Structure 1
């Protein structure tokens, strides 16, 4: 057994020595070129026509110094192009900007559109009805999204016409396209932002403002001012929606107390009456239609 193991080890060692010997005995071929004819004869250059500004290399060669590279017209510097020479962005940079915009889309949807007010009002409506899971959150978010697209459709159309189309046609640069795209959004946010909210943030930013010209308000100040105004408007609308349902709760609680049924939760009895009142008054139509009209 020991002899067999020894033979296997010796055989493995011989195999390894043989492989190393083959590697060292292999002849290395290096192609040197001092002119275009030599390069073609050594199959370094492509057989295609070669101009004096560019060299197409078929096989990897070697060079000892910069002069060898110059003889083959190989540039030893790297140039990164951000545009195609006609005002358009390079393809990779365009893809990068598109991916960045897609990643920021949810944040922009929540902060600078009507989505926040709509979603909060719908949540208040559901809580006022005491239906904790009907309609579910997915349905409320879907309704809020479609109402947001409906309300923002004129703004989005203006952005597409004024900024996206000229930029795709190469008529304007990226900076100008961004300015044209943010202008309709600023106009929408300024129309929904209260002056006192914008003035408060302008004072925090230590920027003088007379409260009349919204063009003097930076976008970094306008966005938080718009969010605060949207939250205030949403809570005011939610309070108004709550009032009739609170009256129903109070009436039901008084009736139960007068009947001596204090152990029975009033919300259990009042919820069917709330749903009945909401359906008879066509509540969803009233809430959604009047909510959309608050943006016009």
Structure 2
């Protein structure tokens, strides 16, 4: 809604309440630089702001719906860039770096926790030490707020201890916390200097991206499509391949939409499911 209000102010148009013609003009201009998913989010924000203020929803008009239909045909609804999922052997390749250094301990804990928990990068960056409870069984994680939890209700998920030293998220987290000093209110994942000093302040969501991409590049893993979101996508696709029921996967990933969760699984299996495999090529 903020982007719409800014646009309306610049064009001397009413933003709240607004009207269908203004909304349609805004959406057409937005489509010059943004994807269909961004436009859809903008429409939802305009609608919610109007309904919350007791105004009539301008986006429900026939004119705006016609504009949206045209934009969908023009732009498509599939994401332009999809994060690539990878399997456990590829994960092990990425983790084959020096884990004796503070940066190595942090990166191993970060990557393994992200893979095992299916957490979003913003959630990982926001974790404090008070949000983690470590035991012999694994890690109990309190997620205080997330992208899909706008009311701040929070969620608690668990990550079991691993069976292999190289990929055990509990072991990796214990090793990182052994060098990560601070109080319970401090962020779990901190910056580390080039000389190995753990610094004050935490990582950002973009930092999580950079760390994974740097480690993947060093391991000579194909970088196309690799981002922090790959770790979340990898959890979902690998759990599905292992026969974990979709309901159980969604309890961990906290997806509200079955269709969205299935999108990860179907995308990962598109080559294996292709009828071309039976053509004898």
Q: TM-score range by the shorter chain?
A: under 0.3
Query: Looking at CA atoms only, which structure, 1 or 2, has the larger radius of gyration?
Result: 1
Q: Give me the TM-score of the superposition, normalised by structure 1.
A: 0.22
Q: Which has the higher contact order (CA 8 A, sep 6+)?
A: 2
* Larger helix fraction of residues: 1
Q: Give me the TM-score of the superposition, normalised by structure 2.
A: 0.23
* Larger strand fraction of residues: 2
